[in-house]
Amino acid sequence: MRAAVVGAGPSGFYAADQLLKGGFEVDLLDKLPTPFGLVRAGVAPDHPKIKSVTRVYDKTAQDPRFSFFGGVELGADVSRDELLERYHAVVYAVGTASDNRLGIAGEELAGVHAATDFVGWYNGHPAHAHHRFDLAAERAVVIGNGNVAIDVARMLMLAAEEVAPTDTADHAIAALAGSAVREVVLLGRRGPAQAAFTNPELRELGELARADVVVDPADAAPDPASAAWLASDATDRTARSNVEILGAYAQRPAPARSHRVVLRFLRSPVELLGDDRGHVRGLRVAVNRIEAGPDGGLRAVATGEEEVIPCGLVLRSIGYRGEPLSGVPFDDRRGLIANVDGRVVDPAGTPRRGEYAVGWIKRGPSGVIGTNKKCAAATVERILEDRDAGRLPSAPAVDRDATAGWLRERVPGLVTWAGWEALDAHETAAGRPHGRPRVKVVRVADMQALIRAAVPEPAG
């Protein structure tokens, strides 16, 4: 039986691997010429060890029943119906490429960006490489208390000699080297006990070479509701340790380094303020307190007090969001493909024959790379159950070779695994003399030209 997996990020690779083990032939499609999703274009460049997970995906790609087709966008180059005509199962692993908005006045001002754009820019994602970030201001504010917020704060604070040996895109290395940003304010709408950071990432913030980490002791002490929660069985170890780490930061001596990351809590963005050039000059925030909500959750409630934080760059890092795919049921409230345990369902809740979801587009934009392995295994279990119960569409009209031919005809710049390996070899060779893991090619046309030169005839 044959499956198409759409999206070659971690969840797509884990699903492909499980499907191969389950006896399927697998075609893995991605809209980019390059595989690996956020491992290539999300994970911070100063965390190269994390990216070595791609070796596991390389192994999957060696299976003779596996094919990679890069440069194929579902919704633009091929449609859902066309895939369903050719495969017994179609698995959507497209991730959540968009971002949440604050929905406050001033969000359109120059100097206000989504962290999604900043992350894509420094990682050389072709769709984000053209962005420009004005790094002339002394203070930047990063809104949100998750690990992405920590990543972007850290990237803004690394010294040029720390960024240079990474696979940060060349345009970003140059821009960051000229950055005037000396202070990053990391802003949480709730308190230290509710921060979504994980412990190693929060600790790493306190180990930066040229930046101090600053926490006001008054901010670090949990409010009464949070203190009660931390003392109860309902709490988790991560939250407890985060509070301890932040408490220790609050005890540190006065900042002495050239740069600093200031963690501020209990502040909700209310309005972005502009100057007469239409550029952001400050962020008005409401001061909150923590209260137990009707569901028992601890929520932020405005006290009525407000403050203005002067700044010239604002990055909102308040979570990613999925985008609908044409013809595929979408849960607009959650920003996901409508699914029950990985089976795509129509609005009445009935499973759609042969359609499945995995990864962030199945469960939402949370969880580390490894989380997607379990998630993919669960979806593939459903596929195998459906196969065994005769619930998969029975006879796709075309076989493997015919499908490869169809894709080649449809997508002139189609990239096979051999093509990606050629690009990979080019990038890593370009990095070697400089002690860098790779020098990324960031324009799709340049990637395709390099691949064409190295692999003139794409091998299906």
Ligand X SMILES: NC(=O)c1ccc[n+]([C@@H]2O[C@H](COP(=O)([O-])OP(=O)(O)OC[C@H]3O[C@@H](n4cnc5c(N)ncnc54)[C@H](OP(=O)(O)O)[C@@H]3O)[C@@H](O)[C@H]2O)c1
> In degrees rounded to 5, what are phi and psi of residue 334?
-95, -10
Burial class (CB in 10 A: 0-12, 13-18, 19+), 206: middle
Residue whose beta carbon is closest to ligand FAD: 9
Least distance in angstroms from the C-beta of 290 to ligand FAD: 27
Contacts of residue 201, defined as CB under 8 A and 6 or more positions apart, other chains included, come to 147, 150, 151
DSSP designation for 433: G
Shortest gap between Cβ of 310 and ligand X (angstroms)? Answer: 19
Answer yes or no whether residue 166 interacts with ligand X by CB under 6 A. no
Q: Considering only 10-18, 76-84, 143-151, 395-403, which stretch makes contact with ligand X by CB under 6 A? A: 143-151
For the purposes of burial, counting CB atoms within 10 Å of the CB of 318, is it exposed (0-12), middle (13-18) or buried (19 or more)? Answer: buried
User: Min. distance of Cβ 399 from ligand X in angstroms?
Assistant: 39
- Residue 99 in contact with ligand X, rule: CB under 6 A: no
Interior angle at CA 32, CA 30 and CA 36, nearest 5: 70
* Number of C-beta neighbours around residue 91 at 10 A: 34
Nearest approach in angstroms of CB 218 to ligand X is: 19
Q: Which does residue 313 touch among ligand FAD, ligand X, none (CB within 5 to 8 A, set by kind)?
A: none
143 binds ligand X (CB under 6 A): yes
Q: Report 397-456 residues binding ligand FAD (CB under 6 A).
A: none
> According to CB under 6 A, which residues from 43 to 62 bind ligand FAD?
43, 47, 50
Are the CB atoms for 40 and 121 separated by under 8 Å? no
- For tokens 């998630």, the residue is 375
Of positions 60, 123, 166, 317, contacts ligand X by CB under 6 A? 317
Q: Which stretch binds ligand FAD (CB under 6 A): 175-183, 289-297, 304-312, 363-371?
A: 363-371
Interface residue with ligand FAD among 19, 38, 195, 392 (CB under 6 A) is 38
CB of 150 to ligand X, least distance (A): 7
Q: CA-CA distance, 354 to 321, in Å (whole number)?
A: 24
- For ligand FAD, the binding residue among 143, 148, 181, 266 (CB under 6 A) is 148
Is 93 among the residues that bind ligand FAD (CB under 6 A)? yes
Nearer to ligand FAD, 99 or 212 (CB): 99
Rg (CA), the chain: 23
- The number of residues in the chain equals 460
CB of 301 to ligand X, least distance (A): 12
Instruction: Provide φ and ψ at 213, rounded to 5°.
Output: -105, 135
Q: Of 220-259, which residues contact ligand X (CB under 6 A)?
A: none
Using rule CB under 6 A, residue 189 touches ligand X: yes
> Binding residue for ligand X (CB under 6 A) from 97, 196, 357, 407?
196
Q: Where are the alpha helices (DSSP H) in 158-299?
A: 160-163, 170-177, 199-205, 217-220, 224-231, 237-250
Tell me: does residue 31 bind ligand FAD (CB under 6 A). Answer: yes
Asked whether the beta carbons of 152 and 119 are under 8 A apart, the reply is: yes
H/E run at residue 153: helix 147-157
- Decide if residue 68 touches ligand X (CB under 6 A): no
Q: Tell me whether residue 197 or residue 330 sits nearer to ligand X (CB atom).
A: 197
CA separation, residue 189 to residues 268, 330, 335 (Å): 5, 29, 22
Binds ligand FAD (CB under 6 A): choice among 94, 315, 407, 442: 94
Q: Is 285 in the site for ligand X (CB under 6 A)?
A: no
Chain residues binding ligand FAD by CB under 6 A are 6-12, 29-32, 37-38, 42-43, 47, 50, 73-75, 93-95, 97, 119, 148, 151, 320, 359-360, 367-369, 371-372
